[in-house]
Structure 1
Amino acid sequence: MKLKKHNPSYFFKIKLLFFTLITITFIFSCGKKSDNYKEVSKDAGVFLSGKIIPDNHFLGDQKCKECHQEQFKSWQGSDHDKAMQIADSTSILGNFNNQKFTSQGVTSHFFKKENNFYVNTEGPDGKYHDYKIVYTFGVTPLQQYIVQFPDGHYQCLRTAWDSVKNKWFDLYPDFKIVHSEWLHWSRGGLNWNNMCADCHSTNVRKNYDEATHSYDTKFAIINVNCEACHGPGQEHVTNVNELGEDYVANGTFQMTTETSPKELVDQCARCHMRREQYSATFNFEGTMLDHYFPQLIEGGLYEPDGQILDEDYVYGSFLQSKMYNNGVTCTNCHDAHTLKLKYDGNKLCAQCHVPEKYDTTEHHFHQPNTESSKCINCHMTGKFYMGNDFRRDHSFRIPRPDLSVKYGNSNACTDCHKDKDNAWAAENFKKLFGEVDSIHFSEKLAPGITMQPNAHVGLIELMNDTHQPEIIRASASKVLSNYNAQNFVEQYIALLNDESALVRGATVDVLSTINTTDYTSYFLPLLEDPKRTVRIKAFFGLAGVAEAAIPEVYKVSYSKVKEEFFLHLKTNSDFVGTRMKKGNYYLKQGDIEKAIASFESALAIDNINNQVRLNLATLYYNNRQYEKAENAFKTVIEQEPEYGPVYYSLALMYAELSRTDEAIVQLEKALKKMPTNIRVFYNLGLLYDKQEDFVKSEKTFFAGLKVDATNENLLYALAYLYAKNNQTEKAINIAYRLVELYPNNQEYKSFLNQLKGRA
């Protein structure tokens, strides 16, 4: 019997340190959108120009102030206004008067020199250096500080200033990071150019050069000014000056009083969501999905029921809500320019929800006018991010402690009653409100995210239920792939024509992971999809098809999307994930040399990323570069000795190279790390048998069957072992068991008959 290969997930959670403003902006009305300066050619169909807007088209807030003084006054001093500033005695809030702060073994010394502000702290070489503060970032509840590095890199310090409590603090006090890690403040995880700039300044062009790993990042205006949200004002001002009192709004601006609620949410979402960028720069062309694709709901990033967990921002939550579905938008709650809430307390919710019905003890069962009686504390729970930044979940959900009992997600009840458990909360919720009388999407999504048996049924229902929020339908499509996407190809193909671009994009992503070209023809029409993100995803899905084999009718579109795809890769090539995506593209094309080069380049910017290294080790092995593969596996073991799958993978390589003794050693180590992994028991038992060690082989198979008594691979391997060693009766007994468990498998029946013939 041949050892079966196993493709472990190799997932090492890397907490990306994203930055965002948590407020929402809206401003005066100047009409609908137009195609000014976009220059989308008429024969381009759905394809956008991608043109960069010149900086001189952005005139600055002082120009806006001339006519819009009230709006300017509200905006001035807001979080958008203070999103980024030049560091000086006016903008810096932190105490730089010879202050020291120590966290995770690193001491940062903040001081002044020659009217400038400095920090002495650990640098990328592990040594301490003086760094000049060049920019401030944000104002409340924290302010960060930016340092200039060589080659155009700007880095955000990990130590920030708590502007509420007036003290220095560590953004991630429980997160130990060494200087060589990508997450160190001096490296990629806290790099301003790719993690922050796009949302903290106006008309940003990252301008990253992969060959030199350098930046030439530019922006028109340092902060989030009027034109960051509404678009460049040059044409508007020119028209006003030329037409005077005869001026009529000609649709050159975004985010106006004529913007529909859902469109406004999408426009704000550009900076208020966790997402991947697909355009070279944001230039107000098209819609949000022409520039970015949002993070979907999945484990590790969201709680199983869809509540916020990691830094997910507002968009992914708000799209789940009934409020979004019913036309509520950002500015119904947030002031357009101050960015503050329009009303205090329950008055905010009372704009729509009758207080006589909801702001009563009969509804909330708490003392009136207390924190416990506030709508938001039951329906908008939150979490602290970046140390002291409390952000509320915008999915506006009814607490479901019964789901917490099943899936472990948090709920508002035990968030307040910390001395109680979920079972208590579920029981008391039922006493107060009765049985839940409707099905919430989370009852079908949570089982899938937590990998419950048969959860695929509910996920398929969610995917196809057009009454559900589109982000939930798209997320269900992605989560379903946990149950082997190959089993649900027909259901996925049907969604490629879905009305929701979010669902189409998620579905293409899943189908693209299936290692076959059998379904790629269904991607061809999506090369002409209205949304750039979907087009690019479809092109990636077609990577396994030779360009010469693309039907003539799609060749022009294929060529255009190819440009979009490689521009997408180029734009994001400062991210490890993008370099891996490029490697996977070449793998689909069958070019293993270019794939290896891409993964090696990913390691070049994050040399201790073992997710990359494990993929690279497999590529080395497939390319017969056995020594490199072995060294890569051993490096992972050295860096992460508790990660079981690496021992397993190294063992399989040794086994196929007939280095059986070494393979056994690695599998024995893997078994200690992964004592319930059936594949380890199976392959270890086979190797003992190969060494003709019947006792250890039998013992190993039995140990595996204690974990999974009906596992057909283990049962068959044990029966084969007995048959091989002339213990026919034992083999027959197990063969009967196989036939009983798997009556449709003709091989087991034939095997049983062969054994009977020998008896």
Structure 2
Amino acid sequence: MSFIKMRSFSKLFSFSLLFSVLLSCGDDKKAEYEKVPQKNPNAIFASTAQIADANFLGDDACKQCHQAEFKDWEGSHHDKAMQLAKRETILADFDGEKFNSQGITSKFYSKGDDFFVNTEGPDGNYHDYKIIYTFGITPLQQYIVEFPDGRFQCLRTAWDTEKNKWFDLYPDFKVVHSEWLHWSRGGLNWNTMCSDCHSTNVRKNYKEETNGYNTEFALINVSCEACHGPGKEHADKATKLGENYKASGSMQMIPGTQPKKLVDQCARCHMRREQISELFNFEGTMLDHYFPQLITERLYHLDGQILDEDYVYGSFVQSKMYLNDVTCTDCHNAHSLELKFEGNQLCAQCHVPEQYDTPKHHFHEVVSEGGQCINCHMTGRFYMGNDFRRDHSFRIPRPDLSLKYGTPNACTQCHDDKDDEWAWQTFQEQYGVPDYQHFSELLASGLSGDPHGKESLLTLMNDTLQPEIARASAVRGLQYYMNENDVANLITFLNDSSPVVRASTLDVLGEINSTDYTTYLFPLLKDPKRSVRVKAFYALGGLTENQVPADYKEVYQKVKTEFLTYLEATAEFAGGKAKEANYHLKKGDVANAIDNYEKALKIDNLNNMVRTSLANLYYRNGKLNEAETAFKLIIKQEPEYGPTYYSLALLLAETGRNNEAIIQLEKAMTHMPENLRVYYNLGLLYDSVNETKKAKEAIIKGLKVYPSNEELLYTLAFFHSKYGEIDRAREIGLQLVQLFPNNTNYSNFLRQLPALD
């Protein structure tokens, strides 16, 4: 589970935001699981039908014929993913022990056969809560309590099953009881954050009108049928036909499943993702139900290495292993989840030990930590306090990229007494300068905003040999550089063979307030992947139904239903309500947009991305008091974020409160000194209140950042002219004529200046 978001608003909005594998692990490097879009107007969409619980027979039924597999699975993380709370399932003491963290003291105790915690609740007061379920077994176990309206909440305090002690999952993260991230609220809500992957055949059943749940499941844990699908049909046929039974293809994840298809099936629960469908029913593919989180700042390092909780899939699909048809079960026992081999023997399945498991390759003692393949090629991080997870992108350390972009590398993570300069020098001595270009170089360049970032992203987008997730992330990153001339280039990616790239292209085009490109979007309503269709519908949101061409009207209505279901599936998230608000804005329905933004803030009152959108919407629609209140609250919560000071200043200036506006612009200049408009508007405001010296000083400060900026130079020349400083005005006027000879306004300006004495 991942519940921690970056609280820093400035980080949320800022955009500072391998050697190739020598041995091929598969012969068909161009093997594709996902195919190009279907153009057939009668393309069959995966259904959204719910599977009745009666079709799931339970693990004992599977055990009768699959005893070896059951033995491996029994006691595994999947088996123990969720259990009813009782003495034999609870690993913590619950013997009256107390635990204090962030000023909150929790007491854990038992009473008869029941287990309780006394801790701070959503009202800020202490209450007793009964433990209903356990979650996981190692390296930690969490505990779940029941709240009104069908809500189940996961405690923030967990039990370290290796050290046998209580600990805070996020010890350095202070959360107030009224915040979304408090354990009693949305961030640690089991129904929406956990249930889909910890139990079998889950239906969340959220009711927005009551803000409650009636969540149901067929089986409490990750059972055999959670992965393989409902077993009734399979069992009935096997019982009836006996030795004559032959597989009918009704089961999932069976021997012979294509490697990439198997990865997608595992990915359902092993990736950070956006929910697309209301429920998972084993129909279609992963992209009919979920869309993976792309490589973005906050969640990944700029080069794609794991940062926040990314759940393996997002890193694994970056790897050459994945591209060469290595799949999850090549390394992991599908049922016990344990590694198939110990140490370097695991990698030696494909990589010749004589070439790689030697000091000539890794420059460490054979039996040392540095001699283990995974410590150089699968670095990791601790999540949830004590859970160490490895990066599955299988990359070669690149200390040169660490020097350029501040990304981590395995060398200095292990040799923590050394720096990246040392690591890069040592790397060159041992391996030479890399003669290849890994996608991470292009991605880091683009996402960091360096001078060649746009070219880097375009190169990556167009290289179809690179991982889909990297190309899709490059497309998404292009939005920070894009101008009108780039739209035509972007449109070509709507026909890309990768559905992930098509979807990310729609995400970018969907934020452009124009109907000029709708002709190119309509075909995506017939895409074979529901996630792509839903994104296409949103991108077309600015149209009325009367503007839909006749040959798309039927499919438009079908996808409209899918889109509205998607909004329902994400309705308890602030981001989901914000998406709905944006859709209403596309429709020109300002009242509904405001309503949904306000609902989003009721869910998460600290979501200043949403509050900024709402404040700007208030502002544009004349609700100036509401806008001012919203801007001031953002400033209170995120005092380091400069753009809010700027927006508030414009509002104050519009209402004639120029002196107050000046104060806000001065603060904006402190927090975002690179913003040209701050200096320009500050100069004009000082001029409006007859602070002539300060008006010129503001423009001069801007020119120190942008020495040849046309607008600032002209404004300064105008001020000098207005204040009677004709010589200085003429000097700058001549400079403007030289710099911008095609703009006749500057020569006219010079002619209008009083003649020299």
- Alpha-carbon deviations, 1:143-199, whole Å to 9, x = none? 100010010111000001111111111101111111111000000110101111100
Distance 1:251 1:99 in 2: 52
Q: State the SS of the aligned residue for 1:459.
A: helix
Letter matched to residue 302 of structure 1: Y
Call closer, same or farther: CA 1:446–1:348 in 2, change over 3 Å: same
8 Å CA contact 2:402, 2:420 repeated in 1: yes
Distance 2:376 2:738 in 1: 52
Matches within 5 A, 1:518-537: 518-537=516-535
What does residue 752 of structure 1 align with? 747
8 Å CA contact 2:733, 2:749 repeated in 1: no
Letter matched to residue 568 of structure 1: Y
8 Å CA contact 1:382, 1:390 repeated in 2: yes
Distance 1:574 1:61 in 2: 32
What does residue 97 of structure 1 align with? 95
Within the candidate set 684, 696, 699, 2:682 is matched to: 684
Distance 1:55 1:75 in 2: 21
Distance 1:139 1:715 in 2: 66
Call closer, same or farther: CA 1:112–1:10 in 2, change over 3 Å: closer
Distance 1:145 1:261 in 2: 35
Distance 1:135 1:691 in 2: 65
What does residue 21 of structure 1 align with? none
8 Å CA contact 1:46, 1:529 repeated in 2: no
TM-aligned CA deviation for residue 486 of structure 1: 3.5
**655-664 vs 749-758, which moves further:** 749-758
What does residue 293 of structure 1 align with? 291
What does residue 619 of structure 1 align with? 617
- Alpha-carbon deviations, 1:39-73, whole Å to 9, x = none? xxx99623222001001101010000010011000
Letter matched to residue 745 of structure 2: S
Call closer, same or farther: CA 1:716–1:512 in 2, change over 3 Å: farther
Q: State the SS of the aligned residue for 2:495.
A: coil
Within the candidate set 692, 709, 733, 2:731 is matched to: 733
- Alpha-carbon deviations, 1:47-106, whole Å to 9, x = none? 222001001101010000010011000000000000000000011011211111111111
Distance 1:741 1:355 in 2: 64
The TM-score, its normalising length taken from structure 1, stands at 0.93
8 Å CA contact 2:276, 2:566 repeated in 1: yes
What does residue 349 of structure 1 align with? 347
Within the candidate set 490, 507, 517, 1:509 is matched to: 507
8 Å CA contact 2:10, 2:640 repeated in 1: no
What does residue 664 of structure 2 align with? 666
* 1:67 lines up with 2:62 in the alignment: no
8 Å CA contact 1:157, 1:190 repeated in 2: yes
Letter matched to residue 205 of structure 1: R
**354-363 vs 710-719, which moves further:** 710-719
What does residue 476 of structure 2 align with? 478
**570-579 vs 719-728, which moves further:** 719-728
| Structure 2 gaps, min length 5 | 1-7, 14-39
What does residue 418 of structure 2 align with? 420
Letter matched to residue 343 of structure 2: G
Call closer, same or farther: CA 1:739–1:131 in 2, change over 3 Å: farther
TM-aligned CA deviation for residue 717 of structure 1: 2.0
* 1:373 lines up with 2:371 in the alignment: yes
What does residue 466 of structure 1 align with? 464
What does residue 706 of structure 2 align with? 708
TM-aligned CA deviation for residue 587 of structure 1: 0.5
8 Å CA contact 1:205, 1:217 repeated in 2: yes
Call closer, same or farther: CA 1:300–1:741 in 2, change over 3 Å: farther
* 1:650 lines up with 2:648 in the alignment: yes
Within the candidate set 632, 635, 649, 2:633 is matched to: 635
- Alpha-carbon deviations, 1:482-509, whole Å to 9, x = none? 1135441121101011110000000010
Matches within 5 A, 1:211-290: 211-290=209-288
**515-524 vs 453-462, which moves further:** 515-524
8 Å CA contact 2:734, 2:750 repeated in 1: no
8 Å CA contact 2:10, 2:641 repeated in 1: no
Within the candidate set 433, 436, 444, 2:434 is matched to: 436
- Alpha-carbon deviations, 1:320-352, whole Å to 9, x = none? 111100110000000111100000000000000
What does residue 128 of structure 2 align with? 130
Letter matched to residue 542 of structure 1: L
Within the candidate set 203, 206, 213, 1:205 is matched to: 203
TM-aligned CA deviation for residue 715 of structure 1: 2.1
What does residue 538 of structure 2 align with? 540
Letter matched to residue 750 of structure 1: N
TM-aligned CA deviation for residue 645 of structure 1: 2.2
Call closer, same or farther: CA 1:508–1:738 in 2, change over 3 Å: farther
TM-aligned CA deviation for residue 641 of structure 1: 3.2
Distance 1:733 1:242 in 2: 98
The TM-score, its normalising length taken from structure 2, stands at 0.93
What does residue 565 of structure 1 align with? 563
Within the candidate set 294, 311, 314, 1:313 is matched to: 311
Distance 2:336 2:88 in 1: 20
Taking only the aligned residue pairs, the percentage that are identical comes to 61
- Alpha-carbon deviations, 1:370-403, whole Å to 9, x = none? 1110000000001111111111000000111011
What does residue 143 of structure 2 align with? 145
Letter matched to residue 553 of structure 2: K
Call closer, same or farther: CA 1:53–1:739 in 2, change over 3 Å: farther
Call closer, same or farther: CA 1:740–1:493 in 2, change over 3 Å: farther
Distance 2:717 2:592 in 1: 45
Distance 1:195 1:738 in 2: 58
8 Å CA contact 1:728, 1:755 repeated in 2: no
What does residue 327 of structure 2 align with? 329
Distance 2:701 2:620 in 1: 32
What does residue 32 of structure 2 align with? none
8 Å CA contact 1:681, 1:703 repeated in 2: yes
How many aligned positions are there?
721
Distance 1:165 1:44 in 2: 58
TM-aligned CA deviation for residue 667 of structure 1: 1.5
Distance 2:626 2:387 in 1: 45
What does residue 604 of structure 2 align with? 606
Call closer, same or farther: CA 1:535–1:673 in 2, change over 3 Å: same
Distance 1:633 1:196 in 2: 34
Q: State the SS of the aligned residue for 2:291.
A: strand
Distance 2:523 2:42 in 1: 15
Q: State the SS of the aligned residue for 1:513.
A: coil
Within the candidate set 117, 120, 127, 2:118 is matched to: 120
Distance 1:574 1:169 in 2: 28
